[in-house]
């Protein structure tokens, strides 16, 4: 049903069959629906802004019995609320039936603060819903050929996107997190430029998301692009940045809202790794000379103590020493 009588904004109503058996499945269904409508650019699917609302019809029955009398919970505005409301309403109905009562066909409201459903209005029968044909809303028939033409023009749908990400080695939780978000476009751009798919996904779902949360930003407003992500990963791969330094560079890119790329931010803030072997060797040699007791412990078999020397080198270089080369030089000089 498409109803245009909503201040000029069309309403598309999707009605599912009564084959969802638990709150978790209802939530998964809703998340997938959100991802689909975003992928095909029908809506931003923001439940908190009313772009999508969910009415949940709930009934309970004993195994093998006919479907029970349903109640309808109106205008749920988050996936979390959908799960909580369904779980509460199912428990409420079970209690009523076990106490010998009967379930009324009614519309109920979900009180998020109290975590309960409450009666809005009672419907004695299906006829109380007052379905009637509206001559101003004519039926829209979609011939199969038209459907296939539209299908051929459709963008990649969420299930296909997840399969593509998984085939590239992206962990399932990261693949699920990326689908249907702005981060997917950044990921695709970075990978198209040559970034490793797994590394790109890890950064987006982990550090990039964390940085955005700490600054109260959406990715679309951050200025962070696929080109930035590719450059950041490349700087780590070629030894210019350690992972720790790369996180600082990421913060700098976002703080400047993307006006400067990772390489420029790293250079301006002096965040490149000290990877020149001659320079690093001199620093490591000084640390070895200044920590004779720790060196003796290492030579005596306490190899874990080398971590303390690595820490000293990092302190001397303000965290800019290449950890791998630092370890190699320490082991070489200690013998």
* Number of domain units in the chain: 3
Q: Which two tokens stand for residue 82?
A: 């959908």
Residue 131: the pLDDT is 66
Is residue 149 a part of any domain in this protein?
A: no
Residues 243 and 285 in one domain: no
Tokens of 94: 């079970």
- The per-residue pLDDT for 41 is 87
pLDDT band at 335 (very low <50, low <70, confident <90, very high): confident
What are the φ and ψ backbone dihedral angles of 192, each rounded to 5 degrees? -60, -30
Q: Tell me: do 26 and 121 sit in the same domain.
A: yes
Give CA–CA dist 35/208, Å, rounded.
21
Report how far residue 26's alpha carbon sits from residue 73's, in angstroms, rounded to the nearest whole number. Answer: 13
> Residue 113 above 90 pLDDT?
yes
pLDDT score, position 138: 82
Q: Is residue 148 part of a domain?
A: no
| pLDDT: which is higher, 295 or 250 | 250
From 231, 246, 268, the end of a domain falls on: 268
Taking the whole predicted model, whether its pTM rises above 0.75 is answered as: no
Greater pLDDT, 306 or 229: 229
Four-residue CA torsion sign, 312, 313, 315, 319: negative
For residue 320, give the CATH number of its domain: 1.10.10.410
Q: Is residue 141 part of a domain?
A: no
Mean of per-residue pLDDT scores for the chain: 90
Average pLDDT over residues 101-127: 89
Q: Look at residue 150 and tell me if it is in a domain.
A: no
- Regarding beta strands 106-111 and 71-76, do their DSSP bridges make them parallel or antiparallel, or are they unpaired? parallel
pLDDT at residue 106, as a whole number: 94
Domain end call among 129, 148, 172: 129
Are 259 and 295 in a shared domain?
Answer: no
- Residue 317 vs residue 215, higher pLDDT: 215
Percent of the chain with pLDDT over 70: 95
- DSSP string covering 219-282: HHHH---HHHHHHHHHHHHTTSS-HHHHHHHHHHHHHTTTSS-HHHHHHHTT---B--HHHHHH
**174/244 same-domain check:** yes
Q: Could you tell me if residue 139 is inside a domain?
A: no
- 253 with 162, same domain: the answer is yes
pLDDT of residue 296: 85
Reported as a pLDDT band with limits 50, 70 and 90, residue 127 is low
pLDDT of residue 24: 98
Indicate if 95 and 23 belong to the same structural domain: yes
CA-closest candidate to residue 91, choices 83, 311, 194? 83
* Same-domain check for residues 199 and 119: no
pLDDT on residue 261: 94
Check whether residue 241 and residue 330 sit in a common domain.
no
Domain that holds residue 225: 158-268
In a domain, 235, yes or no: yes
59 within domain boundaries? yes
Q: Which of 234, 249, 268 is the last residue of a domain?
A: 268
Give me the percent of the chain exceeding a pLDDT of 90.
61
Based on the fold, state whether residues 182 and 263 are members of the same structural domain: yes
Residues 75 and 189 in one domain: no
In this prediction, residue 28 has a pLDDT band, given cuts at 50, 70 and 90, of very high
Residue 247 lies in a domain: yes
Instruction: Mark whether 257 and 288 lie in a shared domain.
Output: no
Task: Please indicate, yes or no, whether residues 62 and 105 belong to a single structural domain of this protein.
Answer: yes
CA gap 75, 269 in Å, rounded: 50
């Amino acid at each position: 049903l498409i109803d245009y009588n909503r201040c000029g904004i069309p309403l598309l109503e999707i009605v599912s069959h009564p084959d969802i058996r638990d709150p978790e499945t209802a939530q998964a269904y809703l998340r997938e629906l959100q991802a689909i409508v975003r992928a095909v650019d029908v809506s931003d699917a923001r439940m908190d802004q009313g772009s999508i609302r969910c009415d949940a019809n709930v009934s309970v029955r004993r195994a093998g019995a006919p479907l029970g009398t349903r109640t309808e919970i109106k205008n749920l505005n988050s996936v979390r609320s959908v799960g909580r409301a369904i779980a509460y309403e199912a428990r409420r109905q079970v209690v009523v039936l076990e106490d010998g009562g009967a379930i009324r066909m009614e519309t109920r409201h979900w009180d998020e603060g109290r975590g309960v459903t409450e009666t809005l209005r009672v419907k004695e029968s299906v006829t109380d819903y007052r379905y009637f044909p509206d001559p101003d809303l004519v039926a829209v028939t979609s011939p199969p050929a038209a459907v296939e033409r539209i299908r051929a023009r459709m963008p990649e749908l969420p299930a296909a996107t997840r399969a593509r990400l998984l085939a590239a080695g992206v962990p399932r939780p990261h693949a699920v997190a990326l689908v249907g978000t702005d981060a997917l476009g950044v990921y695709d751009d970075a990978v198209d430029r040559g970034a490793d798919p797994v590394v790109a996904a890890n950064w987006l779902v982990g550090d990039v998301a964390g940085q955005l949360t700490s600054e109260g930003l959406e990715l679309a407003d951050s200025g962070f692009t696929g080109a930035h992500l590719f450059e950041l990963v490349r700087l780590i791969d070629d030894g210019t940045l350690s992972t720790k330094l790369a996180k600082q560079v990421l913060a700098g890119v976002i703080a400047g809202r993307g006006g400067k790329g990772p390489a420029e931010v790293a250079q301006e803030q002096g965040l490149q790794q000290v990877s020149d072997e001659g320079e690093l060797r001199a620093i490591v040699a000084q640390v070895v000379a200044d920590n004779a007791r720790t060196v003796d412990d290492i030579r005596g078999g306490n190899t874990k103590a080398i971590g303390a020397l690595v820490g000293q080198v990092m302190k001397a270089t303000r965290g800019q020493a290449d950890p791998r080369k630092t370890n190699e030089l320490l082991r070489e000089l200690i013998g």
